[in-house]
Structure 1
Amino acid sequence: MTEKEKQQAGELYNANDRELFNERIKAKKLCAEYNAVECNDFQKRERILDRLVALRGENTVIEPNFFCDYGYNIVIGDNFYANHNLVILDCADIEFGNNVFIGPNCGFYAAEHPIEANLRNQGLEYAKPIKVGSNVWIGGGVTVIGGVTIGDNVVIGAGSVVTKDIPSNCVAVGNPCAPTKTLEPAAAAEAAAEKPAEKKPEPAEKKPAPEEKPKSRRIEIRRID
């Protein structure tokens, strides 16, 4: 197996391999070009992203600076927004669903290093994939470690370190990050928002009271002699 094949299989591989090294250089050059684009030249940004990432949906916004290792392991859904200083170490597949919002200074690190110093010092490492579901908001300064899956309809609190899977429909915070609150499923919330409010029955229209006929008054006329 080549070092790249070992990498994709989740096995220990040599990160200093020439093929991998050249692919990282290519990605770094594209990142540098992306970060140097004028802030209002959105079309040029999109052209660079199309050359850099494996697949992206509609409405992708990544504020510079943005850095990644390879790019070809990154898959992005529709309506993706990432604030400044996003770092994606995509030694393995890193996938984002639809409607994902990421705060500034966040990192997604598929790269892992051996605990044994002698292996680490040889430049050996391994990589684990990361998957982020749809309708996810990740606060500023969050770190997501390799091998983690974040479910749908999740909010990750700022500064959290995500080391284990996070289930769908929750707020999760802390180091290590853990659920603290359950959320209503996004589909149910959207359906409730789209459902027209039930109209309260209007009160029955009051009929005007019939007009009372004036009572006839009898006038007595007396003759005075």
Structure 2
Amino acid sequence: MTASEREKMAAGLWYNCIDPELDRLRIRAREAVHSHNTMPPAQRGSAAPELVQLFAGFGDGAFVEAPFHCGYGFNITLGERVYINAGCVILDSAPVVIGDGSMLGPAVQIYCAEHHKDTAQRAAGIEIARPVTIGKDVWIGGAAVILAGVTIGDGAIVGAGAVVTRDVPAGVTVVGNPAKPLPCP
């Protein structure tokens, strides 16, 4: 039996993102995101009910500001007291886990997909998804970009505008493009 594109995506294999099932799942996410982004703040609370139901996990005290965008939603797990500021984008073609007490500044972007390097394969929609894991009590500054396959350790800080291309150890502060550790004082 041949695996579906969704099964390939979930298994971390090359898959075709131009797939009817994946398209339906993205539409479902867009509908939940639209509800979240257009609901009056007093009604929305910490997140629109449709968005909370879409996520794999939504910890106590987690809060998602509007506007927000995600690719699928069902791969996102927020720990307790996670704060996601306005304008964040999480393209969750693989699991994205954000640990307790972590904060994402405005316009932070998390990308799990890597498009194929071969132009014909890329044009055909072939990509691979790698998970992103953000530990507990992490602070990610505004407009930072976290790329596929990255793990950020507990208590780390990612400076505003940083582009994180590799893992960040616990307690380390990284800045720049590509993000590099700040020298110890």
What TM-score comes out, normalization by structure 2 length?
A: 0.95
Deviations 1:35-86 (A, max 9, x none): 0011222448342232221111111111111100111100110001111111
Q: 1:103 touches 1:140 (CA, 8 Å); kept in 2?
A: yes
Q: Report matched runs for 1:27-66 at 5 Å.
A: 27-43=29-45, 45-66=47-68
Match of 1:98 in 2: 100
**Correspondence list, 1:185-200, <5 A:** none
Q: Which residue of structure 2 aligns with residue 132 of structure 1? A: 134
Q: Structure 2, unaligned stretches of length 5 or more? A: none
Report if aligned partners of 1:170, 1:181 keep a CA contact under 8 Å in 2.
no
Cα distance in 2 for residues equivalent to 1:62 and 1:45: 6
SS of equivalent residue, structure 1 residue 108: strand
Task: Give the match for residue 17 of structure 1.
Answer: 19
Q: Work out the CA distance in 1 between the residues paired with 2:177 and 2:133.
A: 19
Secondary structure in 1 matching 2:52: helix
Q: Percent identity?
A: 38
Q: Which runs of 4+ in 1 moved over 2 A?
A: 42-46
Q: Aligned equivalents of 2:62 and 2:48: distance in 1?
A: 8
Higher relative contact order (CA 8 A, sep 6+): 2
Give RMSD over aligned pairs.
Answer: 1.5
> Which of the residues 113, 116, 126 maps onto 1:114?
116
Could you tell me which amino acid in structure 2 is paired with residue 130 of structure 1?
Answer: V
Answer with 1 or 2: which has the greater Rg: 1
1:77 corresponds, among 79, 84, 88, to: 79
Task: Name the SS of the counterpart of 1:40 in structure 2.
Answer: helix
2:178 alignment partner in structure 1 = 176
Deviations 1:1-55 (A, max 9, x none): 1111111111111111111110100000110111001122244834223222111
1:208 alignment counterpart = none
Which TM-score applies when normalising by structure 1? 0.78
Name structure 1 gaps, 5 residues minimum: 184-225
Cα distance, 1:145 vs. partner?
Answer: 0.2
Match of 2:162?
Answer: 160
Distance 1:22 1:8 in 2: 16
Q: Does the CA contact (< 8 Å) of 1:37 and 1:44 recur in 2?
A: no
Q: Deviation per CA, 1:63-113, whole angstroms, max 9, x where unpaired? A: 111100111100110001111111000000000001011111110000110
